[in-house]
């Protein structure tokens, strides 16, 4: 009788534990879906500076405070250091494109943390990533995070961006007040890609792969000398840099005012690009091509030169 009673008690205990566990999972799942659907929720993202001017981004899980996802770890060292210092755990790696300054640390981080890796479908990247393309969703449910993938070729042929929770991680395609160079793609591809990013909601936070803002702004101010938003932003970005702070994230609304590569349809930009090219330009990709060529040959004034974008 005593044995039956003990078994019954063990059964009760087990179901209680299971119920508690289920309740916990339900709450967490509920929290995740609530958070995902919360329009005002803002991602917590930390910048990890690397090399001369790269930013590696740590996206904090909204439901598990010690977990982060890393975007474009070009160097494992600074990422490991940030994780250690803040007592964080790595949950996943997102790659935007294959350049070494964005993927150089992937293999070491995978070895150390054994986490899933996501990378572009259209090009090879290290760490044996799950290769994702346009419209696919990277679901990291246990972290309460999910990102939609956009294919944005031009800088490289398979470059992708991750969009979610009001944030955009766009690697070397869109920079604040500028854009990436055309290493593998065409002007047509890049202007389409930038067009895709330019129509995201204005308050989308823009996390780029490099701190190029000041040197980009000095080019932008030559393209549009009368653009007040550019002048204002030179002051703001300048004071941020003086304090050693990143000028990022930017947002799409700000970029639509200060970034000549997102303003291809604006009269002033069209006119300036045509003047540089020496002839009329009819399509946006022609305007883009002229601007990009101009920027490639542009040397910023020494006062706000920064580093020359690669
Ligand atoms: Zn790159
Ligand atoms: Fe880069």
Please state, as a whole number, how many other Cβ atoms lie within 10 Å of the Cβ of residue 14. 10
Q: Is 101 a catalytic residue?
A: yes
**Which residue is catalytic, options 98, 159, 165, 210?**
210
Which ligand sits closest to the CA of 208? 2
Read off the pLDDT of residues 240-269 as tens digits, 9 standing for 90 and up.
999 999 999 999 999 999 999 999 999 999
**Which residue is catalytic, options 99, 159, 165, 233?**
99
Read off the pLDDT of residues 225-245 as tens digits, 9 standing for 90 and up.
999 999 999 999 999 999 999
**Which residue is catalytic, options 102, 159, 165, 233?**
102
Q: Is 165 a catalytic residue?
A: no
Question: How much is the pLDDT for 41?
Answer: 67
Torsions phi, psi for 182 (to 5 deg): -90, 95
Q: Is 226 a catalytic residue?
A: no
Q: Is 141 a catalytic residue?
A: no
Question: How much is the pLDDT for 196?
Answer: 98
- CA 162 to CA 151: how far, in whole Å? 9
Which ligand sits closest to the CA of 72? 2
Question: How much is the pLDDT for 52?
Answer: 97
Encoded tokens for 25: 């999972």
Length of the chain: 310
Question: How much is the pLDDT for 42?
Answer: 83
Q: Is 24 a catalytic residue?
A: no
**Ligand 1 centre distance from Cα of residue 131 (Å):** 18
Cβ–Cβ < 8 Å for 154, 189:
yes
CATH number of 41-145: 3.60.15.10
**Which residue is catalytic, options 155, 159, 165, 233?**
155
**Ligand 2 centre distance from Cα of residue 40 (Å):** 31
Read off the pLDDT of residues 10-45 as tens digits, 9 standing for 90 and up.
444 343 333 433 333 333 333 434 334 444 568 999
Q: Is 102 a catalytic residue?
A: yes
- CA 217 to CA 212: how far, in whole Å? 9
Encoded tokens for 279: 């002839």
Q: Is 293 a catalytic residue?
A: no
Positive or negative: CA dihedral 219, 225, 230, 232: positive
- CA angle, 106 then 108 then 113, to 5°: 90
Which ligand sits closest to the CA of 75? 2
CATH topology of domain 173-310: Metallo-beta-lactamase; Chain A (3.60.15)
Question: How much is the pLDDT for 35?
Answer: 39
- CA 256 to CA 262: how far, in whole Å? 6
* Domain residue ranges of the chain, discontinuous segments joined by +: 41-145, 173-310
- CA 76 to CA 108: how far, in whole Å? 6
pLDDT less than 70: residues of the chain = 1-41, 301-310
**Which residue is catalytic, options 53, 72, 75, 172?**
172
Positive or negative: CA dihedral 240, 242, 243, 247: positive
Question: How much is the pLDDT for 26?
Answer: 37
Asked if the domains 41-145 and 173-310 are classified in one and the same CATH topology, the answer is: yes
């Amino acid at each position: 009788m005593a044995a039956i009673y003990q078994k019954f008690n063990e059964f009760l205990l087990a179901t209680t534990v299971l119920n508690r566990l289920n309740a916990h999972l339900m709450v967490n799942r509920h929290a995740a879906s609530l958070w995902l659907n919360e329009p005002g929720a803002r991602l917590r993202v930390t910048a990890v500076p690397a090399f001369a001017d790269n930013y590696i981004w740590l996206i904090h899980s909204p439901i598990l405070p010690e977990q982060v996802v890393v975007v474009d770890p070009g160097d494992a060292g600074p990422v490991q250091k940030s994780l250690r210092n803040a007592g964080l755990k790595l949950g996943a790696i997102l790659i935007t494109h294959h350049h070494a300054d964005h993927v150089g640390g992937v293999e070491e981080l995978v070895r150390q943390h054994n986490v899933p890796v996501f990378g572009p479908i259209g090009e090879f990247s290290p760490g044996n990533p799950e290769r994702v393309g346009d419209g696919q969703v990277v679901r990291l449910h246990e972290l309460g995070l999910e990102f939609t993938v956009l294919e944005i070729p031009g800088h490289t042929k398979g470059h992708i961006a991750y969009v979610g929770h009001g944030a955009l991680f766009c690697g070397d395609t869109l920079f604040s007040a500028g854009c990436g160079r055309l290493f593998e793609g065409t002007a047509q591809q890049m202007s389409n890609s930038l067009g895709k990013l330019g129509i995201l909601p204005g308050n989308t936070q823009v996390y780029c792969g490099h701190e190029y803002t000041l040197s980009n702004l000095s080019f932008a101010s030559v393209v549009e000398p009368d653009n007040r938003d550019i002048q204002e932003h030179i002051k703001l970005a300048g004071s941020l840099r003086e304090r050693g702070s990143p000028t990022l994230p930017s947002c799409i609304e700000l970029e639509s005012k200060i970034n000549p590569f997102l303003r291809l349809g604006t009269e002033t930009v069209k006119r300036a690009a045509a003047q540089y090219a020496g002839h009329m330009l009819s399509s946006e990709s022609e305007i883009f091509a002229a601007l990009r060529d101009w920027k490639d040959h542009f040397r910023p004034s020494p006062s706000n030169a920064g580093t020359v974008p690669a």
